[in-house]
Structure 1
Amino acid sequence: MRHQNNVLRDPKVEAVLERLHHTADRQALKLFLHYLPQLPRLFLGQGIHWNPDRTHFYRDKYIPIEREQGQLLYLLARAINAQTIVEFGSSYGVSTLYLATAIRDNGQGKVIGTEIVPEKVIQARQHIVEAGLTEFVDLREGDALKTLQDIDGSIDLVLMDGYPHLALDILRLLHPQIRQGGLVISDNVGTFKTALNSYVEFLRTPSHGYRSATLPLKGGTELSIKAG
């Protein structure tokens, strides 16, 4: 079943996205079985336990943002006229396509994405080419703590969707360059509640300058603005 997308209004991009979302949907059963032993933790509001020593399970998994999250990303990036967007955890490029479409429609800029799994980088770059968005994306391969060290200028929007145990370190790295009025959108704060607890606390500590709230999307999407 094709999902109607009245936000992007670009058939070429939408066709690539729908194919990728459909592939991700087909992995849902495998993910459910993987997380099945931890469902009681979710029901108790504790979130799934994140084991940084078992990240190999995720090396061929899409686990992308959902369609509604992607549309929200596009709208937020357009609303603040984002020119520089940083994405931690590009995976196969689903969220990258939403963000790059916003950059294109804003008139100029780049999505600077980073992904540590080489096979995912290859596929993501192909998807970006297929969608016609190559000139709006700088996709970097490797450890995000290294690949995101040399960003020039201020950052308008950050999408945090990589390994949870690295999220706070990445945020601290980018924090000085996130402009006043800039946004940080964080996926899975409810799903990996324990692993992301210190990360969310950082965003909600007044002295750090953010205003932050959890949206009821995909088990918890944190929307934060650097208000100064």
Structure 2
Amino acid sequence: MTSTSTLQDPRVASALDRMFRQAEQDEAISRNIRTAWPEGFAPADPQEQADAKAEVYMPISARGGRLLYNLIRAVRPATVVEFGTSFGISTLHLAAAVRDNGTGRVISTELSAAKAAAARRTFAETGLDDLITVLEGDARDTLAGLDASADFVLLDGWKDLCLPVLRLLEPRLAPGTLVVADDVDLEDLAPYLDYVRDSRNGYESVTFPVEDGMEISCRL
């Protein structure tokens, strides 16, 4: 265990700085995508959406990343499960905390092959690749074979799939497990929020006001 944060490691800090700067181009890239898909993505399946948005970072915020780091340090989970690797910004925050805890691993999922490959390169460059497994493909398939309990969950993939992924993982959630979902302001996340905010479904949930909002739910 270290008394300093791996987030301050020059390799990690440099990678995060580079990716956050590249993510600043997301809006311009998204405009081009909307031009190519003028009717929206309603008729597209998740794979088609992932392929169309293969250059879009869609990152968590820097403050959101630090929140995740602090939560992982406090909870000390054995297995962190992330839905939605993208280029790996959030994954680096998770893995940095796992490294500093001195125990644990991160299992992340990504539908875009291009993003998964880029993320793996970044994880190797930062020296955190030994802690991270990227499951490439539809998370509803790849997480079905999870070989352990899910001790901390981050849901930041396609918002309309957050609830199905959570339901898939529920048998592996022990009481007290934290589940975090990003972007509470997005309409597609509404069914998920309705579910975790209803205590009859077994959660105590609170919205944390960081950037677009994070929903932090404790499994009861």
Alignment TM class, shorter chain as reference:
0.7 to 0.9
2:212 pairs with 1:224: no
- State whether residues 6 and 97 of structure 2, in contact with CA within 8 Å, keep that contact through their aligned partners in structure 1: no
Supply the distance in 1 between the matched residues of 2:109 and 2:18 (Cα, whole angstroms). 22
Supply the distance in 1 between the matched residues of 2:218 and 2:8 (Cα, whole angstroms). 27
| 4+ long deviations beyond 4 Å | 32-35
| CA shift for structure 1 position 168 | 0.9
Supply the distance in 1 between the matched residues of 2:164 and 2:79 (Cα, whole angstroms). 20
CA RMSD of aligned residues (A): 2.2
- State whether residues 33 and 52 of structure 2, in contact with CA within 8 Å, keep that contact through their aligned partners in structure 1: no
Aligned to 1:58: 53
> Where does the alignment leave 5 or more consecutive residues of structure 1 unmatched?
1-5, 36-48
Aligned to 1:98: 93
Percent identity (aligned):
40
| CA shift for structure 1 position 135 | 1.0
> Where does the alignment leave 5 or more consecutive residues of structure 2 unmatched?
35-39
Aligned to 1:120: 115
- State whether residues 82 and 106 of structure 1, in contact with CA within 8 Å, keep that contact through their aligned partners in structure 2: no
Q: 1:52 to 1:152 in 2, by over 3 A?
A: farther
Aligned to 1:38: none
Aligned to 1:183: 178
2:88 pairs with 1:79: no
TM-score scaled by length of structure 2: 0.87
| CA shift for structure 1 position 153 | 2.7
| CA shift for structure 1 position 52 | 6.2
Number of positions where the alignment pairs a residue of Structure 1 with one of Structure 2: 208
2:11 pairs with 1:12: yes
TM-score scaled by length of structure 1: 0.84
Aligned to 2:146: 151
Aligned to 1:212: 205
Aligned to 1:110: 105
